[in-house]
Structure 1
Amino acid sequence: MPRIFSLFLVILSSLILTACDDDDDNNSAAVNAESGFQVGPRPFFLVEDMDEGELKTALQSCENGPFVKTDFSIGHRGAPMQFPEHTRESYVAAAKMGAGIVECDVTFTADRQLVCRHSQCDLHTTTNILAKPELAEKCSTPFSPADAASGTAATAQCCTSDITLAEFKSLCGKMDASDATATTVEQYMKGTADWRTDLYSACGTLMTHAESIELFKSLDVKMTPELKSPSVEMPFEGDYTQEDYAQQMIDEYKAAGVDPENVYAQSFNLQDVLYWIQQEPAFGQQGVYLDDRVYNDPSFTPSLADFEELAAQGVKIVAPPMYALLTLDADERIVPSEYATLAKAAGLEIITWTLERDGPLAQGGGWYHQSIAEQINNDGDTMTVLDVLAKQVGVKGIFSDWPGTVTYYASCMDMR
């Protein structure tokens, strides 16, 4: 274990500093000198933790690489298992781990500038805004401390739409976390999960959407922006419509001269995807419908007719959470779900989310593994889930909080 921990620190440091000593025996297995892609020590840990079998043997045979960039590996908000999400540092880490596609979730500021944040109203947990009094006072809901006597939790809500772009750019990104028992701002800003780290969270660099485009171009990765659902009433301030918002996002790719084939625009709002299909078909033909009906619509049942209707409207890619694509058969084996089978039958491609977001899997995982929890009992099962998604479900790509794991698997299985 000391050697693995040492290796872990070496690789994480190299992801930030872009330095790698090819002569260092401690990281030679994790770094492919020919390509320069660094998967980090985590995939090796996961493979060793797997149950014995053919898949483990096959993956062990790939421990020396080569590890190559692959569109099958999608950086979910970058590489947020270790780096503050939607920061430059997180994006660079994802690209260095061989993610062929990296995500910027898109929302807007008070002056209608597009920025990368997972939610319009997450600044209180993902940045240091509460530690900046002049900006904290602009938050939709100012910080309120916990009250143990009444059982009241600490609260705050700070939105990108509360502040200008210049004010947004003055913030530092941090690991997404808060402490509901906090009685001070300093306490509230802590709370990072014990399986993550604050080592690389001193001041993550926040990015505009346009800046992310230029960074991704320089990193030679494709782009998957997600148009986030506004937390404010639309039209914003009476005249900024949802269509304006959806068009503005595409316009920034056009202004940057990005080939539409390198962009996978996403939204949970089907109308956004249909807007792109109709108004920006070069981009819309790769539009991704993030299907939340499986957990937000109690009446939803997958059907061939439903998926064929999506296809008839021009939708080509659907993206539900992982658990919606997996189930257990009569022999308790992990197999494709009815959703997966019917979507493929309708000719739809599938992308899914999010690998390695549940934390340790010893107790069956969490939300992302809920349909197969009975067969999840160790971290190595991550690789088994990945294998079923790749080979049996036939997904087009997988979002991961540690893209190096998917890169390792895809490189081993010769999936480019």
Structure 2
Amino acid sequence: MSVVWRFLLPAVLLGQILSTPALAQTTLPMQPQLGPRPFHLVDKMKDGTLKTRLAACAGPFHKTDFSVGHRGAPLQFPEHSAESYRAAARMGAGVIECDVTFTKDRQLVCRHSQCDLHTTTNILSVPALAAKCGQPFSPADPATGRKASAKCCTSDITLAEFKSLTAKMDAANPDAITVADYQNATPRWRTDLYAASGTVMSHAESIALIRSLGAKFTPELKAAEVPMPFDGDYTQEKYATQMLDDYRQAGIPPSDVFAQSFALADILYWVKTAPDFAAQAVYLDGRYESKGFDDRKAETWKPSMPELKAQGVKILAPPIYMMLALNENNAIVPSDYAKAAKAAGLDLIGWSLERDGPLNKGGGFYHSSVKAAIDRDGDTLTVLDVLARQVGVRAMFSDWPATTTFYANCMGMK
């Protein structure tokens, strides 16, 4: 950390940062470092006015709240690691996400899922902790067609045990015979270059780090994968309150926190008990997984957009594809879903850019509604432009925040 920043940081915060090994390397970013990827995407765009405008954009670039680090920067760094958060901040992410779940001793930690330790950490390589997994590693059996499997949850271990783990790129090999092969499965379009020593984080540590990086917070209250109440009396409400209490105790103003949940009940609980945080709570719309829901048919949206607004929801966050459609000319345009949300007065945030991998074959889940119009990586910026200027999203989650930072700066967004 530079001498200049040592004098600018409050003494208490500086002590907190330097007393935690994972945070001691922190360098507060002055100006985003975007690297070559955004410019590569511009080069790969179809010719047109948008490409011309973006190609002429040379900075300077600044941090922007439009750019949200989805689990940090997991395109290349282990998700929810200190290294991933620092990378996101260096790429100009004004908001950084910690997905929040709990350990056996009810401490909050950053993991995308309560039960993903077998794919996102080295737990299976640590015999003493692997033995505590609810479902130990089981090798694949080619003779029967059985796939390799395991299930290790944060609720299986204590915070101290969790902190002894190393984060890795999220992946598993279902055909593996050994633990080593099971863990060695990172997709070819990602990388293990930065995955040898990923630092896992408690929720409180993530708050200290993200604050030191000058960014805002978007914690997601993850659904418990164990019966609630957990361990007798740890209810969903206590869990939801505990997450916000960590920000109160750290002195973080509610205006800097975008609390998320896929459970509407969590959002409505915050509306009732924590209106200061609920003012910008984010309802993650996972109803696409519900039987009977069709993002193209308004009659299946229950609650409706006006009903969500009336209940106190202010920000709705669906996957990218739900906000996009193709018109008669095969051009990407706002979907009826997106139009209805905006008409009801709901703000929109999209997830997650740069998560589908290479787009030369149309992409995957996140581009499924516009797949026929996608044939190159440069279409990432075309999609982003429709979301920003036509749909009117207020922010975008991205697995590589340099891309969203670049776009927001070049288009004059805050």
TM, length-normalised to structure 1: 0.91
Instruction: For 1:208, give the aligned amino acid.
Output: S
1:340 aligned to which of 338, 341, 355: 338
Give the match for residue 234 of structure 1.
228
Q: In the alignment, residue 377 of structure 2 is paired with which amino acid?
A: D
In the alignment, which residue of structure 1 is the partner of 2:158? 164
Aligned position for 2:298: 302
Distance between the aligned counterparts of 1:228 and 1:383, measured in 2?
A: 30
CA distance in 1, matches of 2:333, 2:247: 38
How many residue pairs get aligned? The number is 387
Aligned to 1:392: 390
Aligned to 1:54: 49
1:346-385 map, 5 Å: 346-385=344-383
The answer to whether the Cα contact below 8 Å between 1:210 and 1:252 also exists between their aligned partners in 2 is: yes
Once the two structures are superposed, residues 149-180 of structure 1 have per-residue CA deviations (whole angstroms, 9 ceiling, x without a partner) of 11111000000000000000000000001111
- Does the 8 Å contact 2:359/2:375 carry over to 1? yes
Superposed structure 1 runs of 4+ greater than 4 Å apart: 16-19
Percent identity, aligned pairs only? 62
Aligned residues of 1:142 and 1:157 also touching (Cα < 8 A): yes
Equivalent pair of 2:148/2:176 in contact (CA under 8 Å): yes
Cα separation, partners in 2 of 1:297 and 1:395, compared to 1, 3 Å? farther
CA distance in 2, matches of 1:42, 1:335: 25
- Paired residue secondary structure (1:74): strand
Given the alignment of the two structures, is residue 43 of structure 1 paired with residue 47 of structure 2, yes or no?
no
Q: Identify which of 71, 75, 98 aligns with 1:77.
A: 71
1: CA distance, partners of 2:375 / 2:26: 35
Taking the aligned partners of 1:379 and 1:142, their CA distance within structure 2 comes to: 39
Match of 1:98 among 89, 92, 96: 92
**Equivalent residue number for residue 190 of structure 2:** 196
CA-atom RMSD, angstroms?
Answer: 1.6
Cα 1:118–1:378 change in 2 (3 A) is: same
Q: Deviations over 1:174-228 (max 9, x none)?
A: 0001111110001101110000000100010000001101111101100000000
Secondary structure of the equivalent of 2:351?
strand
Consecutive unaligned residues of structure 2, counting only runs of 5 or more, are 1-23
User: For 2:404, what is the secondary structure of its paired residue?
Assistant: helix
Distance in 1 separating the partners of 2:298 and 2:413: 29
- 1:302 shift after superposition: 3.0
Q: 1:129 to 1:106 in 2, by over 3 A?
A: same
C-alpha separation in 1, matches of 2:342 and 2:397: 19
Give CA-to-partner distance per residue, 1:258-286, whole Å, 9 cap, x none.
00000000000000011111100000111
Q: Which amino acid aligns with 2:51?
A: K
Whether the 8 Å contact between 2:26 and 2:86 is mirrored in structure 1 is no
CA distance in 2, matches of 1:189, 1:315: 40
Matches within 5 A, 1:1-16: none
Q: Is the 8 A contact 1:35 1:67 kept in 2?
A: no
Q: Deviations over 1:288-317 (max 9, x none)?
A: 000011233433443697111111111100
Q: Distance in 2 between matches of 1:41 and 1:52?
A: 19
2:15 maps to which residue?
A: none
* CA–CA distance in structure 1, aligned partners of residues 25 and 77 of structure 2: 13
Could you say what secondary structure the match of 2:304 adopts?
Answer: helix
8 Å Cα contact 1:35-1:66 kept in structure 2: no
1:381 CA displacement: 0.3
